[in-house]
Structure 1
């Protein structure tokens, strides 16, 4: 079964009728269905499937205890109202690449695994690459267990409901020690390949990025009867935060600062809110400095309105240079299939970036003609997906010959 066919089989899973696109989050019905789909497809191929202590899935061709394993894969969760390819493309391509290798009669000299990492987008609990961060020890398990979603449900509660012991979350050095290489195939997030008429790119770097939560507290009151002088409206400094992020980004063409999520409490149309939470996503060469500029503006605006503000760091990921030797291998192997291969830096975070501190990791990017990502218009042509699978299969063969 091709990667396109595999993706078509789950196209209706997690369709978001309200936002458009797909919403698939850790522990919800859609994500659970996708995990079951992956387990079924892996078992159909005779792969040994296991769930690790952090609920990442692993489908093994060969003995997982043998060590020196080559791993591919991605994630199955999405941002709210996201696209169909970000994550699932890498998982489906991993399964399809193993089909192709078997059809060729390839006999790997070391184990190959297709991995599915939990909560890569952070769409439910706010921390991206949750499964790979726990695996590598980059995220404290106590902090992870205490994370809450928008309804106040903790990560520990979600895992317990799924029959997984949340006490087992955390660093897994034994598993990491058995991994030799990780190659993640991913749809291009941006539009660098299409103008050059190129189907495949090879990842070079991932820029530094992070997420910060600004919580403004004021005083709830009646929208129609409260005089201006009596208002302590936290929406005002929240709005200034949005504008400050845009100003900070405008000062540095390499920087990105975005507010994509705002929660007002109690949330009535005719109520001056008592509290407003704003989530800031910042990326670039110096995201911390950018955030400091935004926070300074937010604090000044909060003071002027008589409100309080608390700033919480949800996650920080430093810049990552993907393994140069593995990138050379990916480029060399891809060049046998496509006429030209370019190296791509990306402003998007990936599990490959988290794993890079522990083993050589690389990324293959499949052309996205729309340039849109994290939205329903995200797209890859079927022929480009097939090319990506062929290149991935060739890479896996090269690394396990």
Structure 2
């Protein structure tokens, strides 16, 4: 980012509350108005700056020196407020504190490890779809029966969690992602279970709770080698459990919703199942399971002529950037003919999601299994959203399917 200049541009002001229920339910009108308003918009309700265009969001994401994650990726500023939990060593840390945890996870989640999981996850996906079809019911909730079940089955296995208590993972993630927003009714609704859920998740990160062949055990082994401290190891395991479940669940739901509302694209996938990974990336561009993240200005920084003062919070609208018509042709359409690379759903730069290829493999496994067995998928009723301050979440996704002959 360029240095601040004396001839700064005064940004337009929006009085909208991006965390109000109507905007969480239907974010597109607000996103459009923010993009139209300018490259930088001041949100008066929270006294923060907003970036909603792809160019500025992308630039801020890669400039970690000017746009800090270590002061928190939520509205709270860790320079002045105590976090409700120890900050994530990946999401809420910058170099040098960020370097060792990311290096360890990058090695653990490298392609060779995922190649070993591919066959196991493909079989698990096929078994799940076969069991669903065997019930004989052609109408069901695809969120509960597919998008939620599959990641909660295969990913905790890969981390090394035991079978008990996995139902706590989604509520914990919902609570953690809500906490990135203001202290509104959504945060208050989780208050009664913060202690219980946090204690359960923290307990699962202990070495003795993890199997000896999972990602978690490899994180602890890295601590034994000195690549991490033993104090850091459970926090890195926790990062996997926080960031690796809800985002994938809602990303898969986005893909199923996309196909249920775009039957021509479902037929395209059935004819070319190798497009499954592209389909997942296009779905997360189109729906953006992670809608927003904050950064904090480390100095006075100029964006498109506007000076953002040091210590200011900047709200980056990932969902708005992913539908920016200046970056994408016909951005509101889900299209397997599009190259979705460049979307910011997984972040960009130093803090880009280290587990994104894990999510892609989960999606590829499930979508491929479905494409082989299901001729048509369509909505059976109106889907329902689950409101969250950060996530584009689902409560239900009723579908009707026609099995392949």
TM above 0.5, yes or no, is: no
Q: Which has the larger strand fraction? A: 1
Q: Which has the larger helix fraction? A: 2
Q: TM-score when scaled to structure 2?
A: 0.28
